[in-house]
Amino acid sequence: MARSENHSGIDRRGFLAVTTLAGAAKAAAQKIQGNALLPTATLGGLKRDGTDTPIAGATWHIAEKPGDGFSYQFAPGTLAKAQYLAADMILDGNHMIVFQLAFQEGEKGRTFTFRFSGLNQCSFRLRMPLSLVDQNRWGIDREGAFLKPRAGGARVDLAKVDRMRLTVTRKSPKPARWAMTDLVASEGEVARIDKPILPKGPLIDELGQSTLHEWPAKSRGVEEVNTRIRRQLQQAPAQKWPGAFTQWGGWKAKRLGPGSGFFRVLHDGQRWWLVDPQGYAFWSAGLDCVRVDTTAAFDGLETALKWMPDPSGEFRDIYDINPDVRRRAKSVNYLAANFIRAVGREGWREKWARVALAELRRLRFNTVGNWSEWEFARKEQFPYVRPMSFRPTRVVNIYRDFPDVFHPGFEQDAADYASVLQDTASDPAFVGYFLMNEPTWGFSSEVPAAGMLYITETCETRNELARFLKKKYPDDAALSKAWNMEVTFERVATGKWTALLTKEAIKDLEAFSVVMVERYFRVLSSACKAVDKNHLNLGMRWAGLPPQWAVEGMKFFDVFSINCYREKVPAETTRQIHAMLNRPTLIGEWHFGALDVGLPSSGIGHLKNQADRAKAYRVYLEDAAANPHCVGAHWFTLYDQSALGRFDGENYNIGFLDICNRAYEEMGRAATASHERVYDVAAGRVPPFSDAPEHLQTLY
């Protein structure tokens, strides 16, 4: 096909070129109506910059350190009738700034928090629905350049809230500069903005790279990327695992018995192992999101894209403009576009998969981790895991995403959920399945039983809670005495709960939360084993370190999985899980990033450059392998995220490859070195790598 090319080598036939004039045009967005809340004091070393701003009525502010910001005081009840708290903002610079709003009931009362960030050099509207203070939602959807809006802290009563703080909580080493209008408490709906101001023009170039950053390895044009991808495709068949690996990536030097034909777990008297289908020791060095995973959410941000091809033309595969449940915004994928340009539209995804799996072999990864296009791994018989997600149709959620597990329809919903495992039940390359990922009830400061009381007026699980308490206390008077508050079994079972819970009540609610979690995972696990008896139940990927009450309900897993974004895996936690459940631990997610390769944020772990990122990888991976209770660690993710941000706004340097399919060589050398010695480390033959780099303040 003939190409008519501009200076960047982009085919313009049938394409829509979207451009924006940079400059000082003022925002045309509808003014926010409501009660303006004026700060009563500044916090830390916050400074005001009196220069002109792109947003009408806004003021520039500069924070040198986290904690800088504003404090507000007002009469109790000022926010009680408001639906939204809102302001218009724009962030200067090119690195992430994270803000937190904190709402407090008096000087020593409960505090609710709301955290958010934004794209740099792109105006956005902070729109916080004040209904979030009921704690039934962990967060709300991203809106344009308004990123990762998340709730935290404690439940508060807006009739009692009389003070508020807006602070910078995370920032790069450089001062944080932003402009904003007054915060407004609005009793009505606050409109979104759909035409943001872009003082420096589009944020994403034709290849999907940031226009706000320069770095030595930035790809300079289409032909450079085409040549790279075509070379990777040509070299893919030559990428093999080392001879010390079995056909499944296990360890030929240690056989743990006859093969069962499937992956299993075994404690050999010294440590836990996974065992490959042939019976050899297997330690899972995995890579999450082995998929075309660089989506940029552009809903309301069309003018931030330098290049948008025709959605009905040759590049139609790069768009997702029919959002599903998980991704609520329109998205575009420039990694897909880069592959289509390099290898043609027909069969491009299969060619991408060939390159991606070859890259895993080159780096000595032996597992395709969660959130991946695992069907390609199955076809190649490359060990893989599968994600699952429980979305019931017969029962309702009673607190955040925790379902009514004592409802009669719960077991049938569980059976429907498990039925998806039928098509991989006999596949030897399939390691196992994760029941779910980071349920939002796990992020709450409340145990599920407490949250249920406040949120759901009647349900079968509340009835079961009342029965649970009746077994412990003979009557209402005994319950009231034990809880140190006036309460009845009937009130526990039904009705709107508004009273503050005492520490004594919370103790009983924590105990019942164990019962809730136990039933939840017993029923789901049993349903999965009924469909697939051959493969491992890898648990539910708890976010961070789980509380003891949650662990006790998880004895039905074959492996306990946690997503652990620390400098190392906490050995004491894995030891406790082994002691409590007699189960090994698998790390479902971890990563480190830096700010030196054109992304606004490093990721959750923050290093100063790619060389230190590589060292941090080796320290974490080999320390995990040396841990006798740990059977694997899966890095999140194969690719960097888009600089424009994915569905929720994450835009991290966390890949082994960038959006132009360029490999990070430092990371590659580190991974190869660690993976080639991981079995010797796990067996105690050699010490783990210990040259730890300096870890910087996190930006997440």
Q: Check residues 567 and 323 and name the one with the higher pLDDT.
A: 567
Lowest mean pLDDT among 29-33, 222-226, 279-283: 29-33
Percent of the chain at pLDDT exceeding 70: 95
CB 291 within 8 A of CB 335: no
pLDDT at res. 553: 83
Calculate the average pLDDT of the chain: 94
Q: Is residue 208 helix, strand or coil?
A: coil
| Domain presence at residue 485 | no
SS3 of 380-412: the string is HCCCEEEECCCCCCCCCEEECCEECCCCCCHHH
pLDDT, one tens digit per residue, over 646-665 is 999 999 999 999 999 999 99
pLDDT, one tens digit per residue, over 479-515 is 999 999 999 999 999 999 999 999 999 999 999 999 9
CA angle 329, 334, 337 (to 5 degrees): 120
pLDDT at res. 51: 95
d(CA 64, CA 177) in angstroms, rounded, equals 9
pLDDT at res. 24: 37
pLDDT tier at 323 (50, 70, 90 boundaries)? Answer: low
pLDDT tier at 324 (50, 70, 90 boundaries)? Answer: low
Task: State mean pLDDT over 306-325.
Answer: 88
Q: Does position 222 have pLDDT exceeding 50, yes or no?
A: yes
Residue that terminates a domain, selected from 138, 160, 186: 186
Residue that terminates a domain, selected from 156, 186, 216: 186
Q: Check residues 549 and 273 and name the one with the higher pLDDT.
A: 273
| Domain presence at residue 14 | no
pLDDT tier at 6 (50, 70, 90 boundaries)? Answer: very low
Residue 363 sits in the same domain as residue 233: yes
CA angle 358, 361, 362 (to 5 degrees): 85
pLDDT tier at 11 (50, 70, 90 boundaries)? Answer: very low
Q: Does position 4 have pLDDT exceeding 60, yes or no?
A: no
Residue 100 sits in the same domain as residue 229: no
pLDDT at res. 28: 46
pLDDT at res. 497: 97
Q: Does position 20 have pLDDT exceeding 90, yes or no?
A: no
| Domain presence at residue 494 | no
- The radius of gyration of the chain from alpha carbons, rounded to an integer in Å, stands at 26
Residue 232 sits in the same domain as residue 162: no
Q: Check residues 200 and 547 and name the one with the higher pLDDT.
A: 200
d(CA 494, CA 462) in angstroms, rounded, equals 7
pLDDT at res. 700: 79
Residue 249 sits in the same domain as residue 340: yes
pLDDT tier at 687 (50, 70, 90 boundaries)? Answer: very high
Residue 651 sits in the same domain as residue 599: yes
Q: How many domains does the chain have?
A: 2
SS3 of 213-227: the string is CCCCCCCCCHHHHHH
Residue that terminates a domain, selected from 128, 155, 186: 186
CATH number (domain holding residue 248)? 3.20.20.80
Q: Check residues 206 and 325 and name the one with the higher pLDDT.
A: 206
Lowest mean pLDDT among 312-326, 370-384, 557-571: 312-326
Residue 570 sits in the same domain as residue 673: yes
Residue 648 sits in the same domain as residue 599: yes
Q: Does position 8 have pLDDT exceeding 60, yes or no?
A: no
DSSP 8-state symbol, 304:
G
| Domain presence at residue 20 | no
Residue 39 sits in the same domain as residue 177: yes
CATH number (domain holding residue 130)? 2.60.120.430
Task: State mean pLDDT over 331-355.
Answer: 98
Residue 157 sits in the same domain as residue 250: no
Residue 236 sits in the same domain as residue 156: no
pLDDT at res. 328: 61
Residue 276 sits in the same domain as residue 180: no
pLDDT tier at 350 (50, 70, 90 boundaries)? Answer: very high
pLDDT, one tens digit per residue, over 284-311 is 999 999 999 999 999 999 999 999 999 9
DSSP 8-state symbol, 245:
B
| Domain presence at residue 22 | no
To which residue do tokens 């699952």 refer? 388
Percent of the chain at pLDDT exceeding 90: 92
Q: Does position 26 have pLDDT exceeding 60, yes or no?
A: no
pLDDT tier at 29 (50, 70, 90 boundaries)? Answer: low
The pairing of strands 430-434 and 536-537 is parallel
Residue 266 sits in the same domain as residue 147: no
48 lies in which domain range? 35-186
